Amino acid sequence: MMLLVIFGSILLIVLVLLTLSILRSKKALLSKHNSVVYQDQIDEIKRDVDRGLLSEDESTVLEIEIRKRLEKSRPKDFNQAHSEMPITKATILICILLITFIPLTTLATYNYLGSPTKPDLPFASRKLPTPVKTADTEMNKLANALKKRMDANPEKIDGWLLLGRTLSTMKRFNEASNAFKRAFAIDSSKAEIATSIAESLFMARGGIFEDESRKYLKIALKLNPREYKALYYMGLSLARQNNFRKAVQTWVDLVAISPKGAPWLSNVRQQLAEVASTGNLTISKFVPRLKPTEKKTNLIPRGPSQSDIKAAQEMSNEDRQAFIRSMVQSLADRLKESPNDLNGWKRLARAYRVLGETKKAEQAEIRIKKLEN
């Protein structure tokens, strides 16, 4: 209460000073105006003398008369000024507004923001925009725009694949599975598309295999028995069903055909050991049913595929940005599984620089320095 009294007193003093200042300023302006007028008259008299229109004696008499008028127009004190100059309605209105509007506005603002009775607002509950949320919002807009474009041009398989990858990057897995299904409807001969459908369905269900995802895994392996990702998920599905023998056999096959240094190998070997232990099985007794290719290729993509490039050339600027971000995010996800890929970290750092994500680029460069030392 004492605080309110102090603030109220200060506010009252300020309002009084402002009101007096307004009244004084109006009289000061009038006095200044009179001074300017009379001084101009004196200057005019001097010019008439120079032109020969007035004599020196006449000019002296006129100048003395003007100066007398100037002295009479100057108020001796504020009370005199106030009595000589009537207060107008505009002046009264301004004073009323000062006296009422400022205190009421101050009280209302204080009651809303600064009242001691209002509860604290924890920092965690404040709705502050973050760069991550801003980027997510932008990506959502771009993905939605791409989806509308594909609805208008449903025959382009590359666009549906791009949309599926973009939505997967944004963790919109259910929508991603639908996009991959549209692509598979156009070309049902590609095992990788069937695998992408199964994977997105698995992720959309929170890591649970359902009949539909298993169906697409079987289709993928029928189209290509050497499809790496399909073999991994099939082994995981079999292990979840307690079919440990088939799960171990599937992963033994995957290890046999996987390229050297493949990012999934450490994870597969770890799960293989756990499942074999749970099922009381000996891994060495399992013979791979698939033979490795004569020339093993590094499966980690070094850039977008030809279909990705073709799709990017047909996109708008907004869609192309969504494509670039999805590719960069995919690279970042792969590096989590293969953290020692120096060239991959270099590409990621360059990509972040291009996108203007300085902090992420600096973090990638720190990782590069550790790998180079």
Q: Same fold for the domain at 131-285 and the one at 314-372?
A: yes
Name which of 368, 372, 300 is nearest 333 in CA terms. Answer: 300
Name which of 208, 239, 238, 242 is nearest 221 in CA terms. Answer: 238
Beta-carbon count within 10 A of 213 CB: 21
Give 10-residue mean pLDDT values along the chain (373 residues).
Answer: 63 67 53 58 69 64 65 52 52 66 68 60 52 62 82 87 86 92 94 95 93 95 94 94 95 91 86 93 92 57 49 56 69 77 82 80 87 79
Pick one of 1.25.40.10, 3.40.1210.10, 3.10.20.30, 1.10.10.10 as the CATH number of 131-285. Answer: 1.25.40.10
pLDDT of residue 223: 95
Give the contacts of 343 (CB within 8 A, at least 6 positions apart): 302
pLDDT of residue 81: 44
Name which of 192, 243, 240, 246 is nearest 216 in CA terms. Answer: 192
Per domain, the residue ranges of the chain are 2-113, 131-285, 314-372
Tell me the one-letter amino acid at 72: K
- What is the spatial distance between Cα 252 and Cα 234, in angstroms, rounded to a whole number? 12
Q: Spell out a b/e string for 95-109, using b for 16 or more CB atoms within 10 Å of the CB, else e.
A: beebeeeeeeeeeee
Burial class (CB in 10 A: 0-12, 13-18, 19+), 169: buried
Name which of 252, 235, 245, 237 is nearest 280 in CA terms. Answer: 245
Give the contacts of 348 (CB within 8 A, at least 6 positions apart): 328, 331, 332, 335, 364
Structure token pair of residue 125: 């509950």
pLDDT of residue 246: 96
pLDDT of residue 193: 95
Q: Which fold has domain 314-372?
A: 1.25.40
> Is 337:267 a contact under the CB 8 Å cutoff?
yes
Burial class (CB in 10 A: 0-12, 13-18, 19+), 127: exposed
